[in-house]
Amino acid sequence: METRQKVFSGLQPTGNIHIGNYLGALKNWVSFQDSYETVYCVVDLHAITVPYDPVEFKKDRIAAAKVLLAMGIDPERSMFYFQSQVPQHAELSWILGTMTPTGVLNRMTQYKEKADKVGANLGLYSYPVLMAADILLFNADLVPVGDDQRQHLEMARDLAERFNNRFGEVFHIPEAYIPDVSARIMSLTDPQVKMSKSDANPKSMVLVLDVPDAINKKIKSAVTDSDPGVRYDPTEKPGISNLLEIMSACTGVSIDALVDEYATSGYGVFKQAVADVVIEEFAPIRVAYERLDDADVARMMHKGALDARIAAEAYQAKVRAAVGLDRI
């Protein structure tokens, strides 16, 4: 029997799921369901490594699950659950932590950036180890993520190799799947920096659940340059290049073909076309989101966690046996 390759990925339930998350990773999560065995996780343990309000967090967790379901994550075809409800993630993270040199963690750029902003803590420091555990727990082959996760993926591969060298072949070596276009969608208000959920300026990001009027306004007021030609040049024209990437990733039309079409049309016409495409892309997601009931979603996630615990336990038993922690 042919066994399908396995895909794993995670999303932090930190509110504000934006077009960067969507085009960098989540759109691929949905399409991978057709040809891979897929495991998707709302990584709530990762999200609590930065300051948060528990009451808001509970709502954000369900909202994140709802957005993913509305996008087309199908619990009949994917394993889908909250990370905290499958304790094997944390257990494997501890084991992997014992073989992670602190020198490697000290080089993680995302840790340094976040620690500068919100203060360092042990969870934030070991965040990439828990991420490696997520991926290795299910022996994933492919991990769809945006460009900002490249370094974390390298570390997961490195840990898998270290483990296998020391304890025997237990883990697959996972590959990152990072799209060619739209792996790093930039802020609409400052196209030199990555679009990020934590940006205080709401105009910097289009949210998946934004109403059409908000999408229109945000894209039309996106910061561009004063030279009116539409061409792809991320250094000289980062704002326009970002909009070209967004349009290309939404439509599947190549950037070259879009440049041919809009080269001389002027920024007003081009921005309107981008806004129309994004509105069309997100409209069905918003409709599907509104139809989902929180209590039904909570039940679905509970069932997902039960299945995931059984699957994870089968893998984790092999890890325990390999390191000498067999249940006796």
182: Cβ contacts below 8 Å, ≥ 6 apart: 23, 24, 245, 246, 248, 249
Among 7, 8, 20, 278, binds ligand ATP (CB under 6 A): 20
Q: How far is the CB of 297 from ligand LTN (least distance, A)?
A: 20
Out of 27, 114, 218, 271, which one is annotated catalytic? 114
- Cβ closer to ligand LTN: 134 or 210? 134
Measure CA 291 to chain center.
24
> What number of chain residues touch ligand LTN (CB under 6 A)?
13
Per CB under 6 A, 198 contacts ligand ATP = yes
Among 83, 100, 126, 149, binds ligand ATP (CB under 6 A): 149
Q: Which residues of 232-262 are buried (b: 16+ CB within 10 A; e: fewer)?
A: eebeebbbbbbbbbbbbbbeeeebeebbeeb
Q: Which stretch binds ligand LTN (CB under 6 A): 115-123, 142-150, 216-224, 252-260?
A: 142-150
- Which of ligand LTN, ligand ATP, none lies near 216, with the C-beta cut-off 5 to 8 A by kind? none
Q: Which stretch binds ligand LTN (CB under 6 A): 29-37, 128-136, 230-238, 288-296?
A: 128-136
- Which of ligand ATP, ligand LTN, none lies near 184, with the C-beta cut-off 5 to 8 A by kind? ligand ATP
Q: How far is the CB of 144 from ligand ATP (least distance, A)?
A: 7
Binders of ligand LTN among 150-169, rule CB under 6 A?
A: 152
User: What DSSP letter does each residue of 191-259 carry, written as one string?
Assistant: TTSB--TT-S-GGG--BTT--HHHHHHHHHT----SS------TTT-HHHHHHHHHHHHHH---HHHHH
Per CB under 6 A, 49 contacts ligand LTN = no
Q: How far is the CB of 29 from ligand LTN (least distance, A)?
A: 10
Nearest to 289 by CA among 8, 17, 11: 17
Catalytic site includes residue 218: no
Bridge partner list, 176: 143
Q: How far is the CB of 8 from ligand LTN (least distance, A)?
A: 6
Per CB under 6 A, 49 contacts ligand ATP = no
Return the residue matching tokens 């910061």.
223
142-144: strand order across its sheet: 78-82, 37-42, 6-11, 142-144, 175-177
Among 43, 92, 222, 322, binds ligand LTN (CB under 6 A): 43
Out of 194, 203, 217, 220, which one is annotated catalytic? 194
Amino acid identity, position 218 = K
In order of 63, 67, 258, 299, the CA distances from 294 in angstroms are 8, 11, 40, 9
Q: Which stretch binds ligand ATP (CB under 6 A): 33-41, 182-190, 232-240, 270-278?
A: 182-190
From residue 196 to residue 235, what is the string marking binding to ligand LTN with x (rule CB under 6 A)?
A: ----------------------------------------
Whole-angstrom distance, CA of residue 162 vs CA of residue 156: 10
Give the three-state DSSP class for 7.
strand
Whole-angstrom distance, CA of residue 44 vs CA of residue 89: 11
Residue 327 has a CB neighbour count (10 Å cut-off) of 6
Residue pair 99/166 in contact by the 8 Å Cβ criterion:
yes
Per CB under 6 A, 195 contacts ligand ATP = yes
Residues that bind ligand ATP (CB under 6 A): 11-12, 20-21, 24-25, 145-146, 148-149, 183-185, 194-198
Active site residues: 114, 194, 197
Residues that bind ligand LTN (CB under 6 A): 8-10, 12, 43, 46, 131, 134-135, 143, 145, 149, 152
